[in-house]
Amino acid sequence: MKNPEEIFEILKKEFGESILAIDKDVPTEPIIAVDPMYINKVGQFLREHEELKFDSLMVLSGVDDANGTKIKDEDETEVISGGTLSVYYHLHSVYLKHKITLKVSTPRDNPKAESVESIWKTADWHEREAYDMFGIIFLNHPDLRRILMPYDWEAGYPLRKDYKNPEFYQGMKVPY
């Protein structure tokens, strides 16, 4: 059973600059920041190392950090440009009983991250949902398409902070 600082040390020794930082002071859990293009290698290592054995991905969530500059659009609504979209991974080991949280940050204008679907099959639908809601593209995902919204929803990614509802969808009026 390891605590997050020890796990951070092991990862830092193995991967060097891909592991960016550990954020320890914020309640309630420490978060390790990882480079988005290396997350699949980090995940593979975490699953297979004998002292770590993280064989279960509990949840994978996309988050819109809303830390870019807010520009006023023509119709008085705000559009955010710049900043990041993040993905949080919560991992846990069934047999060794420890937990860790990882975070990757991708630029808002070109959000790409590696997919961890080949490592933990749970990530299949979670990544599709992150793509559907935020627009984060997961490279090497076998079937990246929308999951909760209709397959032909053109109007953007709903959970972003600057999302606007379209007027019409297939001839039906959208706002209530």
Partner 1 sequence: MALKTETMVLNMGPQHPSTHGVLRLELELEGEVIVNVKPHIGYLHRCFEKHAEVMTYPQVIPYTDRMDYLASMSNNFGYVVAVEKLLGIQVPDRVQYIRVIMAELQRIASHLVALGTNGLDIGAFTPFLYLFRDREHILSLFEMTCGARLLYNYMWVGGLSHDIHPDFVRLTKEFVNYFRPTITELNNLLTFNKIFIERTANIGILPLDTAINFGATGPVLRGSGLAFDLRREDPYSIYDRFNFEIPTGKGLVGTIGDCWDRYYVRVLEMEQSLRIIEQAIDPIPEGDVQSAIPKRVKPPKGTVYSRTENPRGELGYFIISDGNVNPFRIKVRGPSFVNLELMGELCKGHLVADVIAILGSIDIVLGEVDR
The span of 5-13, 35-43, 145-153, 167-175 binding partner 1 (CB under 8 A) equals 145-153
SS (HEC) of 24-74: CCCCCCCEEEECHHHHHHHHHHHHHCCCCCCCEEEEEEEEECCCCEEEECC
- The residues, ordered by sequence, that sit 6+ positions from 115 with a Cβ below 8 Å of its Cβ are 40, 123, 127, 138, 139, 140, 141
Site for partner 1, residues 11 to 50, rule: CB under 8 A: 26-29, 31
CB atoms within 10 A of CB 46: 25
In sequence order, the 6+-apart residues with CB closer than 8 A to the CB of 100 are 4, 7, 32, 46, 54, 90, 91, 92
Which of 5, 6, 59, 77 touches partner 1 (CB under 8 A)? 59
* Phi, psi angle pair for 3, to nearest 5°: -100, 165
Among 57, 104, 116, 144, binds partner 1 (CB under 8 A): 57
Residue 171 tokens read as 């001839």
Contact region for partner 1 (CB under 8 A) — 13-21, 70-78, 146-154, 166-174? Answer: 146-154
Least separation in angstroms between CB 125 and partner 1: 5
Nearer to partner 1, 37 or 158 (CB): 158
CB of 27 to partner 1, least distance (A): 4
Q: How far apart are CA 31 and CA 157, in angstroms?
A: 26
Using CB under 8 A, pick the residue from 58, 80, 137, 155 that binds partner 1. Answer: 58
Nearer to partner 1, 17 or 95 (CB): 95
Q: CB nearer to partner 1: give 28 or 110.
A: 28
Among 72, 94, 173, 175, binds partner 1 (CB under 8 A): 94
Where does this chain bind partner 1 (CB under 8 A)? 26-29, 31, 55-59, 61, 63-64, 88, 90, 94, 97, 101, 120-122, 124-125, 133, 146-150, 158-159
